[in-house]
Structure 1
Amino acid sequence: MSTPDGRRSDGGGRGRDSGGRPGASRGASGRSGQPRPARGAAQGGRPARPARAKGPARPVEPPRDVHDPDGVRLQKVLASAGLGSRRACEDLITAGRVTVDGVPVVELGVRVDPAKAAIHVDGMRVQLDTSMVTIALNKPLGVVSTMHDPDGRPSLAEFVKNREERLFHVGRLDAETEGLILLTNDGELANRLSHPSHEVPKTYMVEVEGRVHPSLGKQLQQGIELEDGLVSVDSFRIVDQTPQASLVEIVLHEGRNRVVRRIFDEVGFPVTRLVRTQIGPIKLGDLRQGRTRVLGKVELGTLMALVGM
């Protein structure tokens, strides 16, 4: 039966039972008082999704254990390396700023073997082996980049002859090039700094004949074809100029033989003086020619972080 407005009536009026008394409030049984069927295909609703079968749980790799029961307490190792008092080093650990062999350590009591552990604070390697040393030398003009020259020419060994360590040079500068060169007894650091895959940037001050145009920088950054392949600089800056000469600063990560001189010869500006002023984060600064200085812990840590140590 339908009501005048077209709605279907159940005979007793909405909200009343068959005797005209107010009925119970509508609940789960719906208007008809019958249990409401579950929604499904019979009502035209969306079919219920079948339960997903549970497969075997993925194995969870346990965290690496860096604790060495026979080692030294981590905070003591950090304090011995000059990171501060033992209490300050405990704060570094609990703040989550310390890793051991790549694993974050946030709890006190961890012991490590200082001879084997790779410890980093804020991403920088902590120097634990005091026998390792890295030295910056301002190489003068005319010195060959070797520790001994059979022809008797001045060599790098003359500037570190008072050192007890067996040092070797990292990379080379030709005899006509001055400036920063590193010497170390850390073979791993030397190998990484020299390997092309790490692309360690090197900065040079280059004095050339003639007045260069600013457009030369764009040309060098796009690349110059040499006899052994394409080479490009990372940055280029004109420092000073006269009508007869220019002083420019370039940064590149190439390590090919005499590459800076060959680049400028190729573009028609022969080099009259060449000085390397920086290797990665290590700067020549005010270090006088022929003098050396031992890299500090922060400097060395930054350099090691650059090559993934």
Structure 2
Amino acid sequence: MPERIQKILARWGIASRRKAEQMIIAGRVRCNGQIVTLGDQATPGQDQLAVDGQLLQAQNRPEDLYILLNKPRGVMSTCHDPHQRRTVLGCLPSRWQRGYGLHPVGRLDADSTGAILLTNDGVLTLALTHPRYHLPKTYKVWVAGHPKQAALRVWRQGVELDGVQTRRAVVRVLRSTPEQTLLEVILREGRNRQIRRIAAQLGYPVVSLHRSAIGRLGLKSSPDSPSLALGEYRQIAKPEIEQIFQLSTLLGKLNLPQAVSENSVCGSRMIS
């Protein structure tokens, strides 16, 4: 039965539907040798689809990949940038940059550094970005000045942004210098530049922002191992990912399928 091509690409884990539409607009997708346009349909098993010249066939479906990157400053949390700026995908070896459908799960703004997970596993992407799953994310944040306890209490209890109260947060003072303070901030939601906006609203603008962990997934593979340096990455085995995020239990709690349906892969969202 014919389906819209972006739905097929999403179901394969090649990209979210939004990203698949962008790939189609960019002319990267062909059906039976012809460049497709938005709205075109194909019949899986009958029509030949190709992305970046690579045919989508059961026998050559990309393996599930999970890569943790310590994103450097100035790198965009996207797969492709219209202004030719460096992206998180561009931080990886060339063999992974095309044909695997890797995409970031969530985002960090360009000025921030730290942990970002890239995968082509649509089920994991859906689960970790689901609005009912408040995945904790840990940040180390240098702010200007020395926040007063009253300001920290306000931050912990929630601050109004765009007319909506933020969720409660964990905010701890780690250390300070004569001019700055290092905070540990743990969020369970992700609004656009949330930490930067709250800090500025409270009168202590962010000097630098670094994400150290996504849930229990940190930049160290073990307590005794060195942390990934900026720009470094490590590939994570599927069993480790499933254990870290308790994926089977999570899918059950969210009442989500074990396999990706045509509407399942969520788009990425800015979370700092």
Bin of the TM-score, shorter chain as denominator length = 0.5 to 0.7
Please give the residue correspondences for 1:99-118 in structure 2 after superposition, counting only pairs within 5 Å: none
Task: For residue 228 of structure 1, report the CA deviation from its aligned partner.
Answer: 4.1
Match of residue 106, structure 2, among 171, 181, 185: 171
Aligned length: 181
Task: For residue 230 of structure 1, report the CA deviation from its aligned partner.
Answer: 0.7
1:162 is aligned to 2:95: yes
Q: Give the TM-score taking structure 1 as reference length.
A: 0.55
Structure 1 counterpart of 2:165: 230
AA aligned opposite 1:150 = P
Structure with greater helix share of residues: 2
Task: For residue 211 of structure 1, report the CA deviation from its aligned partner.
Answer: 1.0
Q: CA RMSD in A?
A: 1.9
In structure 2, C-alpha distance between the alignment counterparts of 1:269 and 1:294, rounded to whole Å: 37
Find the residue that maps to 1:236 and give its secondary structure: strand
Task: For residue 217 of structure 1, report the CA deviation from its aligned partner.
Answer: 2.9
**CA 1:130 to 1:157, structure 2 compared with 1: closer, same or farther past 3 Å?**
closer
1:134 is aligned to 2:75: no
Runs of 4+ in 1 over 4 A off after TM superposition: none
Structure 2 counterpart of 1:219: 154
Task: For residue 192 of structure 1, report the CA deviation from its aligned partner.
Answer: 1.3
* Percent of residue pairs bearing the same amino acid type: 39
Find the residue that maps to 2:240 and give its secondary structure: helix
Task: For residue 172 of structure 1, report the CA deviation from its aligned partner.
Answer: 0.8
Q: Which has the higher contact order (CA 8 A, sep 6+)?
A: 2
Contact 2:139 2:211 in 1 (8 A): yes
Quick check: which has more Rg, 1 or 2?
A: 1
Please give the residue correspondences for 1:34-53 in structure 2 after superposition, counting only pairs within 5 Å: none
Task: For residue 227 of structure 1, report the CA deviation from its aligned partner.
Answer: 1.9
Please give the residue correspondences for 1:64-213 in structure 2 after superposition, counting only pairs within 5 Å: 131-160=63-92, 161-163=94-96, 165-213=100-148
Structure 2 counterpart of 1:287: 228
Q: Give the TM-score taking structure 2 as reference length.
A: 0.62
In structure 2, C-alpha distance between the alignment counterparts of 1:233 and 1:246, rounded to whole Å: 21
Structure 2 runs not aligned, ≥5 long: 1-60, 221-226, 252-272
Contact 2:108 2:116 in 1 (8 A): yes
Structure 1 counterpart of 2:203: 268
Find the residue that maps to 2:151 and give its secondary structure: helix
In structure 2, C-alpha distance between the alignment counterparts of 1:293 and 1:172, rounded to whole Å: 18
AA aligned opposite 2:67 = I
